[in-house]
Amino acid sequence: MALTTKSFEIFCGTGGVGKTTLATSRALSLAGLGNRVLLVTIDPARRLKDLLGLSGDSIGEVQSVEIEGVKLSALLMSPEKTILRMAEKFQTPDLAHNRIVQILSKPYGGMNEILSLVEMEMQFESGKYDVIVLDTPPGAHFLDFLEGLAKIKSFFDQNFVEIFSYLGQKTAKAGKKVFGFGLINRVISTGVRKLLGYLQNVTGAQFIDDFIEAIQIIYQSKEAFLKGLALQDVLKMKEKCNWFLVTSVEQGKAQEAVEMKSHASSFIHQDHFLVLNKCLEKELESWNAETVKLKNLRDSLLIKEVTLKKRLRESFPTILEFPEIMSLSPLDHIQKLTHKWNSYVPQS
């Protein structure tokens, strides 16, 4: 089948199936066709850094990469760096300095996924790239996040604006800007008021000040967040985005891909792909096993793989098969997988 190029390409899958290597080789294939490509990873394992030989100080900055004469750009997501870029672009310097925002923007602080959308939107809006390839963290967490975006969007709903405008009012006190807690008592529920009281007892009043200030600052930066959140709608459009669910011929891994698709059925459009990695069918068919034991092994592996593919075709409209690469060199893996990606490109 022919695989068309789209503005966004998302790679999802569980750990250990070769997702990052396949995303990298796909980006290289696209770049080899003349596209300006940005490869982004939000995988905390930093596998992409090792694959492309990027330096430690490259995290959070777009880096130029060249492999066998083909150039592309790569970005290892750093929430902190994204916050700095947002603060500069949208002229909200307080966003980069609030203590609570700084905590939330740590790699495991809880804002990784939403900031990845903001980062992708800013990079694509820059006009520098034709295609952005996103390598997501292992598992279904990124899909869970996308499914729950409506809750995040409600944060910026008009119903909340009035509350946050009250919370954001400051009163001059002892030459220092502080928040008026009397206002809080009038505009928030008893339950939240009790929670803030408990937090103040444990953390001190300064934490509550920072917390309320963080809410206000995030709301002041709503343009950046809402643009990132709007990218969700683009990712749902089959003419704008390719979705790749990556798995391998291992029985358990394949079942996880089926469950992941079912889990995200309301989000991923029907024009998506299962990328089946580490296939051995062709090699097994050509293997001239010399002993009965080896023949039995070959037949057993072949039957298992063929049966698995037949079952997967019941769940996925299109399956892209990639071979097991018998090499210890990451560069060999990327090059051979890139060649396989090229075989799926429409011939002119």
Q: At 175, list the tokens.
A: 């030459």
Are 33 and 125 part of one and the same domain? Answer: yes
Are 329 and 246 part of one and the same domain? Answer: yes
* Distance separating alpha carbons of residues 104 and 108, to the nearest angstrom: 8
Q: How many domains does the chain have?
A: 2
Q: What share of the chain is helix, strand, coil (3-state, %, to 5)?
A: 55, 15, 30
Residue 187: band (very low, low, confident or very high) from pLDDT cuts 50, 70, 90: very low
Are 132 and 268 part of one and the same domain? Answer: yes
On average, the pLDDT of the chain sits at 80
* Distance separating alpha carbons of residues 274 and 198, to the nearest angstrom: 49
Are 167 and 271 part of one and the same domain? Answer: no
The residue segments making up the domain with residue 332 are 8-79+114-147+236-281+314-343
CATH number for the domain that contains residue 122: 3.40.50.300
Amino acid at 312: L
CB of 39 within 8 A of CB of 74?
A: yes
Residue 174: band (very low, low, confident or very high) from pLDDT cuts 50, 70, 90: very low
Are 255 and 126 part of one and the same domain? Answer: yes
Length of the chain counted residue by residue: 348
Q: So what's the pLDDT on residue 179?
A: 42
User: pLDDT digit string (tens) for 97-143?
Assistant: 888 888 877 766 567 788 888 999 999 999 999 999 999 888 877 77
CA separation (Å) from 70 to 10, 35, 64, 314, 338?
21, 10, 11, 37, 11
Are 216 and 328 part of one and the same domain? Answer: no
Is residue 93, in this structure, part of any structural domain at all? no
Is residue 103, in this structure, part of any structural domain at all? no
Residues 6+ positions from 139 with CB-CB distance below 8 Å: 14, 15
User: pLDDT digit string (tens) for 301-340?
Assistant: 999 999 999 989 888 889 999 999 988 888 889 999 999 9
* Distance separating alpha carbons of residues 216 and 111, to the nearest angstrom: 16
CA separation (Å) from 282 to 285, 301, 305, 335, 344?
5, 12, 11, 19, 17
